[in-house]
Amino acid sequence: MKLWVLRHGEAEPHGSKTHDSERALTEHGREEVLRSAARLIGQPVSAIYASPYLRAQETAQLVRDALGFEPDIRTVEWLTPETDPDKVAEQLVSVSDVLLVSHNPLVGNLLSYLQHGAGFPPEQVSTAGLAELKGDELVIGSMKLSSLKHP
């Protein structure tokens, strides 16, 4: 089983006029995402799941286009920034070879949780950072981080 976790690209700053969920990618953020998407070319991605937040949706769409991926992006509420990693893991029990597009702190916490279990510090993941985890099956604390690439 493989699992890829991609943090969204650089987004507009959080301001008083823009709700966090409505922040769009910057031009630099789009470039970051395309560099990370290139690392997924030829990988057996079976589905793309993304947070409903605008910057994650834009990130997922850029990846989808770069890969020529036919299926629709699956927008899910369980990939928002403050979701508990355990809730994400519950959703992944019957899937494999999927790409998750989300945000920190969830990305860092999820990567740590899947590798080590609860109570460990989060992985440090920059914008458009792409992690690849491998394992025989999704068992909390048993996945191996095979790569973590930053654009």
CATH number at residue 113: 3.40.50.1240
> Does 17 map to a domain?
no
Query: What's the predicted TM-score (pTM) here?
Result: 0.96
Residues 118-150: pLDDT tens digits?
Answer: 999 999 999 999 999 999 888 899 999 999 999
> Does 106 map to a domain?
yes
How many domains does the chain fold into? 1
Amino acid letter, residue 106: L
Task: Tell me which residue of 12, 97, 21, 95 sits closest to 54, measured CA to CA.
Answer: 21
Residues 97-106: pLDDT tens digits?
Answer: 999 999 999 9
Pairing assessment for the beta strands 2-7 and 98-102 based on DSSP bridges? parallel
